[in-house]
Amino acid sequence: MALREIVQWKRPFPRARWLAKQVLVRWDLFAHRKDESVQRWRPVLVGARAGHVVVPSVALESSRREAGDFAARGLVRAGDRVLDVGAGNGRQAIGLIELGVGSYTGLEVVKRSVEYANAAFASFGSVHFDWLDVFNPMYNPHGSQEPDKASFPYPDGSFDFVVALSLYTHLENLVVVARYASETSRVLRASGGAFMTFFKSPPNAVTASAVRTVFAERDIREIVGKRFVVEDAAGCETTAFHDQWRLYLRKR
């Protein structure tokens, strides 16, 4: 494993890193103290001690941009039932709530993130987060369920749209990808929309690291294409760490 990956995975000096992020968060809140939208969403953007700590104004802008992108492509609309796989602390929910979705369900392997998000969004009756106790060496090293046997805890056809942002980028192998794609298809209604992101090769080198999993593009297309029509694809034109391949999908 490369030194960069070791540093990212082990996250040295976690307390110092968390405090540094809190300084950045507080500065952002001060800089946007007159921004009503940032202040409105402050309770769900500030206070997380697990998962990814976000800069409020940046998180808000990206959540709205992504929801608008999904809506513009006809993948999600007002009133839809949405599942967010790998929901983290709930950043993705904000733009979708503002879009007017009927319900939002977040599925996450970090238990403390689930607890935080359920408390943060407690005033939103149509928003709920569930814990998926699946093993992942980076995010849930003591998970009780093997990822290649993961089962989403929902009946068939429960959702109109399923989003998975920065999920497949940590799943390590194609067997697990196939399982998650299968479960996504199962809980999605006929012709429902889906969104997934990957790191692909080219331009990246293939790797099975949980920090940054990279698959060959042909393998991704083969697995995803069994259950979904790829309506569009974008991104991952460089090897930049956050340049992900975005797939806009429709259930077959």
Q: How many CB atoms lie within 10 A of CB 238?
A: 10
Half-sphere exposure for 167 (CA within 13 Å, toward CB) = 27
| Per-residue model confidence as pLDDT tens for the chain (252 residues) | 444 443 444 555 566 776 778 888 889 999 999 999 999 999 888 888 888 888 999 999 999 999 999 999 999 999 999 999 999 999 999 999 999 999 999 999 999 999 999 999 999 999 999 999 999 988 999 999 999 999 999 999 999 999 999 999 999 999 999 999 999 999 999 999 999 999 999 999 999 999 899 999 999 999 999 999 999 999 999 999 889 999 999 999
* CA dist., res. 77 & res. 193, Å (int): 10
Q: Output the DSSP codes for 99-136.
A: HT-SEEEEEES-HHHHHHHHHHTTT-TTEEEEE--B-B
| Contacts for 213 with CB less than 8 Å, ≥ 6 apart | 168, 169, 170, 171, 172, 173, 199, 207
Torsion of CA 221, 226, 228, 231, to 10 degrees: 40
Which domains, and CATH codes, for the chain? Answer: 13-251 (3.40.50.150)
Supply the pTM of this predicted model: 0.91
Tokens 């009756």 belong to residue? 125
* CA dist., res. 87 & res. 144, Å (int): 19
